[in-house]
Structure 1
Protein backbone atom coordinates (compact mmCIF):
# COMPACT_ATOMS: atom_id res chain seq x y z
CA UNK A 1 0.00 0.00 0.00
CA UNK A 2 1.42 3.39 -0.95
CA UNK A 3 1.10 6.33 1.36
CA UNK A 4 -0.13 9.57 -0.17
CA UNK A 5 2.19 12.47 0.39
CA UNK A 6 0.76 15.25 2.49
CA UNK A 7 0.32 18.52 0.64
CA UNK A 8 0.73 21.76 2.55
CA UNK A 9 -0.09 25.34 1.63
CA UNK A 10 2.26 27.95 3.11
CA UNK A 11 0.75 31.06 4.66
CA UNK A 12 3.44 33.75 4.95
CA UNK A 13 3.33 37.13 6.69
CA UNK A 14 6.31 39.49 6.74
CA UNK A 15 6.41 42.08 9.50
CA UNK A 16 8.47 44.95 10.87
CA UNK A 17 7.84 47.44 13.61
CA UNK A 18 8.94 49.70 16.42
CA UNK A 19 7.60 49.70 19.95
CA UNK A 20 4.22 47.97 19.95
CA UNK A 21 3.22 48.99 16.40
CA UNK A 22 3.87 46.55 13.61
CA UNK A 23 3.32 46.72 9.85
CA UNK A 24 2.45 43.39 8.29
CA UNK A 25 2.48 42.34 4.65
CA UNK A 26 1.06 39.35 2.85
CA UNK A 27 2.89 39.29 -0.50
CA UNK A 28 1.59 37.82 -3.71
CA UNK A 29 -0.62 38.69 -6.63
CA UNK A 30 -2.98 40.51 -4.25
CA UNK A 31 -0.70 42.10 -1.70
CA UNK A 32 -2.31 42.88 1.65
CA UNK A 33 -0.90 45.43 4.07
CA UNK A 34 -2.17 45.81 7.60
CA UNK A 35 -1.03 47.16 10.94
CA UNK A 36 -1.33 46.12 14.54
CA UNK A 37 -1.17 48.25 17.65
CA UNK A 38 -2.61 47.73 21.09
CA UNK A 39 -4.58 49.45 23.81
CA UNK A 40 -2.94 52.25 25.84
CA UNK A 41 -2.99 49.98 28.92
CA UNK A 42 -0.57 47.73 27.04
CA UNK A 43 1.62 50.59 25.80
CA UNK A 44 -0.08 51.33 22.48
CA UNK A 45 -2.16 54.11 20.97
CA UNK A 46 -5.11 51.96 19.82
CA UNK A 47 -4.64 53.32 16.28
CA UNK A 48 -4.97 49.82 14.79
CA UNK A 49 -6.48 46.54 15.98
CA UNK A 50 -4.50 44.56 18.54
CA UNK A 51 -3.11 41.11 17.73
CA UNK A 52 -5.67 39.63 20.14
CA UNK A 53 -8.54 41.25 18.23
CA UNK A 54 -7.04 40.00 14.96
CA UNK A 55 -6.98 36.51 16.47
CA UNK A 56 -10.70 36.70 17.29
CA UNK A 57 -11.42 38.09 13.82
CA UNK A 58 -9.43 35.24 12.29
CA UNK A 59 -11.62 32.85 14.27
CA UNK A 60 -14.91 34.26 12.98
CA UNK A 61 -13.62 34.58 9.41
CA UNK A 62 -12.24 31.05 9.35
CA UNK A 63 -15.54 29.71 10.75
CA UNK A 64 -17.44 31.41 7.92
CA UNK A 65 -15.06 30.15 5.22
CA UNK A 66 -15.06 26.61 6.61
CA UNK A 67 -18.86 26.66 6.90
CA UNK A 68 -19.07 27.36 3.16
CA UNK A 69 -16.83 24.38 2.40
CA UNK A 70 -18.82 22.08 4.68
CA UNK A 71 -22.16 23.35 3.33
CA UNK A 72 -21.04 22.46 -0.18
CA UNK A 73 -20.19 18.93 0.99
CA UNK A 74 -23.59 18.62 2.70
CA UNK A 75 -25.54 20.09 -0.22
CA UNK A 76 -27.02 22.98 1.75
CA UNK A 77 -27.12 26.69 1.03
CA UNK A 78 -25.88 29.38 3.40
CA UNK A 79 -26.77 33.07 3.32
CA UNK A 80 -25.75 35.93 5.60
CA UNK A 81 -23.72 35.32 8.78
CA UNK A 82 -23.44 37.32 12.00
CA UNK A 83 -20.80 36.69 14.65
CA UNK A 84 -19.90 37.99 18.07
CA UNK A 85 -16.58 36.78 19.48
CA UNK A 86 -15.27 37.42 22.96
CA UNK A 87 -11.94 36.52 24.47
CA UNK A 88 -11.46 36.89 28.23
CA UNK A 89 -7.86 37.70 29.11
CA UNK A 90 -6.22 38.10 32.49
CA UNK A 91 -3.45 40.59 31.61
CA UNK A 92 -1.35 39.84 34.71
CA UNK A 93 1.01 37.52 32.80
CA UNK A 94 1.27 39.70 29.68
CA UNK A 95 1.62 43.05 31.42
CA UNK A 96 2.91 42.24 34.89
CA UNK A 97 5.00 39.14 34.22
CA UNK A 98 3.03 37.02 36.69
CA UNK A 99 3.46 33.26 36.59
CA UNK A 100 0.80 31.47 34.59
CA UNK A 101 -0.62 31.23 31.10
CA UNK A 102 -0.74 34.34 28.89
CA UNK A 103 -3.55 32.79 26.80
CA UNK A 104 -7.18 33.83 26.89
CA UNK A 105 -8.95 32.13 29.79
CA UNK A 106 -12.06 31.69 27.66
CA UNK A 107 -13.27 32.38 24.13
CA UNK A 108 -16.89 32.35 23.12
CA UNK A 109 -18.52 32.62 19.72
CA UNK A 110 -22.16 33.41 19.07
CA UNK A 111 -23.07 32.94 15.43
CA UNK A 112 -26.11 32.89 13.24
CA UNK A 113 -26.41 31.99 9.59
CA UNK A 114 -29.23 31.90 7.12
CA UNK A 115 -29.62 28.39 5.74
CA UNK A 116 -31.96 25.89 4.15
CA UNK A 117 -30.49 23.07 6.27
CA UNK A 118 -32.83 21.08 8.50
CA UNK A 119 -32.03 20.82 12.22
CA UNK A 120 -30.00 17.61 11.99
CA UNK A 121 -28.01 18.76 8.97
CA UNK A 122 -27.34 22.11 10.65
CA UNK A 123 -25.97 20.33 13.73
CA UNK A 124 -23.68 18.31 11.44
CA UNK A 125 -22.61 21.50 9.65
CA UNK A 126 -21.58 23.19 12.91
CA UNK A 127 -19.82 20.12 14.29
CA UNK A 128 -17.93 19.55 11.06
CA UNK A 129 -16.94 23.19 10.52
CA UNK A 130 -15.50 23.35 14.03
CA UNK A 131 -13.58 20.12 13.42
CA UNK A 132 -12.22 21.32 10.08
CA UNK A 133 -11.54 25.00 10.89
CA UNK A 134 -7.80 25.50 11.55
CA UNK A 135 -8.32 28.59 13.71
CA UNK A 136 -11.04 26.95 15.82
CA UNK A 137 -8.67 24.05 16.37
CA UNK A 138 -5.87 26.45 17.44
CA UNK A 139 -8.16 27.85 20.12
CA UNK A 140 -9.67 24.54 21.24
CA UNK A 141 -6.34 22.73 21.42
CA UNK A 142 -4.75 25.56 23.41
CA UNK A 143 -6.67 24.41 26.48
CA UNK A 144 -8.82 27.50 27.04
CA UNK A 145 -12.55 27.31 27.77
CA UNK A 146 -14.04 27.43 24.25
CA UNK A 147 -17.77 27.71 23.67
CA UNK A 148 -19.83 28.36 20.59
CA UNK A 149 -23.53 28.90 20.07
CA UNK A 150 -24.89 28.66 16.55
CA UNK A 151 -28.38 29.58 15.35
CA UNK A 152 -29.94 28.74 12.00
CA UNK A 153 -32.09 31.44 10.44
CA UNK A 154 -34.42 31.06 7.48
CA UNK A 155 -32.66 31.53 4.17
CA UNK A 156 -33.83 34.77 2.57
CA UNK A 157 -34.40 34.83 -1.15
CA UNK A 158 -31.76 36.74 -3.12
CA UNK A 159 -33.04 40.07 -4.40
Structure 2
Protein backbone atom coordinates (compact mmCIF):
# COMPACT_ATOMS: atom_id res chain seq x y z
CA UNK A 1 0.00 0.00 0.00
CA UNK A 2 1.34 3.41 -0.94
CA UNK A 3 0.41 6.44 1.08
CA UNK A 4 0.93 9.82 -0.49
CA UNK A 5 2.10 12.50 1.88
CA UNK A 6 0.96 15.88 0.68
CA UNK A 7 3.28 18.86 0.55
CA UNK A 8 1.93 20.40 3.70
CA UNK A 9 3.68 20.09 7.02
CA UNK A 10 1.81 18.09 9.65
CA UNK A 11 -0.26 20.16 12.04
CA UNK A 12 2.07 20.88 14.92
CA UNK A 13 1.03 23.39 17.54
CA UNK A 14 3.11 26.52 17.78
CA UNK A 15 5.80 25.81 20.32
CA UNK A 16 7.79 28.66 21.86
CA UNK A 17 11.45 28.62 20.83
CA UNK A 18 12.44 28.27 24.48
CA UNK A 19 10.31 25.12 24.94
CA UNK A 20 12.12 21.96 25.95
CA UNK A 21 10.68 18.49 25.58
CA UNK A 22 11.45 16.07 28.39
CA UNK A 23 11.04 12.48 27.21
CA UNK A 24 10.74 10.15 30.20
CA UNK A 25 10.39 6.45 30.83
CA UNK A 26 10.00 4.17 33.82
CA UNK A 27 11.39 0.65 33.87
CA UNK A 28 10.53 -2.25 36.16
CA UNK A 29 12.90 -5.22 36.01
CA UNK A 30 11.13 -8.57 35.71
CA UNK A 31 14.11 -10.93 35.67
CA UNK A 32 15.78 -12.84 32.85
CA UNK A 33 17.06 -9.51 31.44
CA UNK A 34 13.47 -8.39 30.77
CA UNK A 35 12.17 -4.94 31.76
CA UNK A 36 8.61 -3.57 31.49
CA UNK A 37 8.59 0.07 30.45
CA UNK A 38 6.14 2.95 30.46
CA UNK A 39 6.48 6.23 28.56
CA UNK A 40 3.58 8.64 28.74
CA UNK A 41 0.59 6.26 28.34
CA UNK A 42 2.45 3.59 26.34
CA UNK A 43 3.50 0.26 27.80
CA UNK A 44 6.26 -1.78 26.20
CA UNK A 45 9.21 -3.94 27.19
CA UNK A 46 12.83 -4.74 26.49
CA UNK A 47 14.42 -8.13 26.60
CA UNK A 48 17.37 -10.04 25.27
CA UNK A 49 17.83 -13.16 23.18
CA UNK A 50 18.17 -16.52 24.88
CA UNK A 51 21.88 -16.56 23.96
CA UNK A 52 22.58 -13.99 26.68
CA UNK A 53 20.08 -15.14 29.29
CA UNK A 54 16.88 -13.61 28.01
CA UNK A 55 13.57 -15.03 26.88
CA UNK A 56 13.50 -13.25 23.48
CA UNK A 57 10.00 -11.95 24.21
CA UNK A 58 10.76 -8.30 23.48
CA UNK A 59 13.22 -6.24 21.44
CA UNK A 60 16.54 -5.47 23.09
CA UNK A 61 17.24 -1.95 24.32
CA UNK A 62 19.58 -1.46 21.34
CA UNK A 63 16.83 -2.70 18.96
CA UNK A 64 14.59 0.03 20.37
CA UNK A 65 17.40 2.55 20.09
CA UNK A 66 17.99 1.95 16.38
CA UNK A 67 14.24 1.61 15.76
CA UNK A 68 13.71 4.91 17.55
CA UNK A 69 16.38 6.46 15.35
CA UNK A 70 14.54 5.27 12.21
CA UNK A 71 11.26 6.63 13.57
CA UNK A 72 12.84 9.92 14.59
CA UNK A 73 14.37 10.46 11.16
CA UNK A 74 11.04 9.59 9.48
CA UNK A 75 9.25 12.23 11.56
CA UNK A 76 11.89 14.83 10.69
CA UNK A 77 11.77 13.97 6.97
CA UNK A 78 7.98 14.35 6.97
CA UNK A 79 8.10 17.69 8.79
CA UNK A 80 10.93 19.11 6.67
CA UNK A 81 9.31 17.89 3.43
CA UNK A 82 6.14 19.71 4.44
CA UNK A 83 8.05 22.89 5.20
CA UNK A 84 9.78 22.70 1.81
CA UNK A 85 6.60 21.86 -0.08
CA UNK A 86 7.91 18.45 -1.14
CA UNK A 87 5.38 15.67 -1.65
CA UNK A 88 6.47 12.05 -1.45
CA UNK A 89 4.74 8.73 -2.02
CA UNK A 90 6.82 6.45 0.16
CA UNK A 91 9.57 6.58 2.74
CA UNK A 92 11.47 3.62 4.17
CA UNK A 93 14.36 3.89 6.60
CA UNK A 94 16.70 1.13 7.74
CA UNK A 95 19.09 1.74 10.63
CA UNK A 96 21.78 -0.77 11.54
CA UNK A 97 23.93 -0.23 14.60
CA UNK A 98 27.26 -2.01 14.76
CA UNK A 99 27.58 -3.09 18.38
CA UNK A 100 30.47 -5.20 19.58
CA UNK A 101 29.36 -7.22 22.58
CA UNK A 102 32.85 -7.56 24.10
CA UNK A 103 32.56 -4.24 25.96
CA UNK A 104 29.09 -5.09 27.31
CA UNK A 105 30.21 -8.57 28.35
CA UNK A 106 33.40 -7.22 29.94
CA UNK A 107 35.67 -9.47 27.90
CA UNK A 108 37.66 -6.59 26.40
CA UNK A 109 38.45 -3.00 27.28
CA UNK A 110 36.41 -1.55 24.40
CA UNK A 111 33.37 0.76 24.36
CA UNK A 112 30.09 -1.08 25.02
CA UNK A 113 28.09 1.18 22.72
CA UNK A 114 27.30 1.30 19.02
CA UNK A 115 30.35 2.62 17.16
CA UNK A 116 29.01 2.75 13.58
CA UNK A 117 25.50 3.53 12.42
CA UNK A 118 24.38 2.70 8.88
CA UNK A 119 21.28 4.63 7.80
CA UNK A 120 19.57 3.82 4.51
CA UNK A 121 16.70 6.01 3.33
CA UNK A 122 14.51 5.06 0.36
CA UNK A 123 12.26 7.87 -0.85
CA UNK A 124 9.81 8.01 -3.75
CA UNK A 125 9.12 11.60 -4.78
CA UNK A 126 8.70 13.89 -7.74
CA UNK A 127 10.96 16.50 -6.10
CA UNK A 128 13.90 17.89 -8.04
CA UNK A 129 17.45 16.84 -7.26
CA UNK A 130 18.08 20.20 -5.58
CA UNK A 131 14.96 19.84 -3.43
CA UNK A 132 15.98 16.33 -2.39
CA UNK A 133 19.47 17.55 -1.42
CA UNK A 134 17.92 20.28 0.73
CA UNK A 135 15.56 17.72 2.31
CA UNK A 136 18.44 15.32 3.02
CA UNK A 137 20.69 17.99 4.55
CA UNK A 138 18.01 19.56 6.74
CA UNK A 139 16.56 16.23 7.88
CA UNK A 140 19.93 14.79 8.83
CA UNK A 141 20.94 18.00 10.64
CA UNK A 142 17.63 18.36 12.53
CA UNK A 143 17.13 14.73 13.62
CA UNK A 144 17.57 14.57 17.42
CA UNK A 145 18.51 10.88 17.37
CA UNK A 146 21.22 11.35 14.73
CA UNK A 147 22.36 14.36 16.75
CA UNK A 148 23.03 12.08 19.73
CA UNK A 149 25.25 9.86 17.60
CA UNK A 150 27.09 12.87 16.20
CA UNK A 151 27.64 14.31 19.68
CA UNK A 152 29.20 10.99 20.70
CA UNK A 153 31.57 11.19 17.70
CA UNK A 154 30.26 7.97 16.22
CA UNK A 155 30.49 7.15 12.54
CA UNK A 156 27.22 7.63 10.65
CA UNK A 157 27.01 6.24 7.13
CA UNK A 158 23.91 7.78 5.58
CA UNK A 159 22.74 6.69 2.12
CA UNK A 160 19.64 8.01 0.37
CA UNK A 161 18.10 6.25 -2.63
CA UNK A 162 15.53 8.35 -4.42
CA UNK A 163 13.05 6.96 -6.94
CA UNK A 164 11.07 9.27 -9.21
CA UNK A 165 7.34 9.23 -8.53
- Taking structure 1 as the reference length, the TM-score comes to 0.86
Which residue, 35, 38, 61 being the options, matches 1:22?
A: 35
- Compute the displacement of 1:5 (Å): 6.8
Q: Could you tell me whether the CA contact under 8 Å between 1:110 and 1:149 is conserved in 2?
A: yes
- Compute the displacement of 1:152 (Å): 1.5
- Compute the displacement of 1:113 (Å): 1.2
Which segments of 5 or more consecutive residues in structure 2 lack a partner in the other structure? 1-15
- Compute the displacement of 1:105 (Å): 2.1
Q: Aligned Cα RMSD in Å? A: 1.6
Higher relative contact order (CA 8 A, sep 6+): 2
Q: Could you tell me whether the CA contact under 8 Å between 2:72 and 2:144 is conserved in 1?
A: yes
Total equivalences in the alignment: 149
Which segments of 5 or more consecutive residues in structure 1 lack a partner in the other structure? none
Note if 1:61 corresponds to 2:71.
Answer: yes
Equivalences for 1:2-151 in 2 at 5 Å?
6-19=18-31, 20-27=33-40, 31-151=41-161
Deviates more, 1:144-153 or 1:10-19: 10-19
- Taking structure 2 as the reference length, the TM-score comes to 0.83
Taking the aligned partners of 1:54 and 1:128, their CA distance within structure 2 comes to 24
Q: Could you tell me whether the CA contact under 8 Å between 1:42 and 1:95 is conserved in 2?
A: no
Taking the aligned partners of 1:117 and 1:42, their CA distance within structure 2 comes to 46
Aligned with 2:105: secondary structure?
A: coil
TM superposition outliers: structure 1 runs of 4+ over 6 Å: none
Deviates more, 1:115-124 or 1:48-57: 115-124
Deviates more, 1:47-56 or 1:17-26: 17-26
Taking the aligned partners of 2:43 and 2:58, their CA distance within structure 1 comes to 12
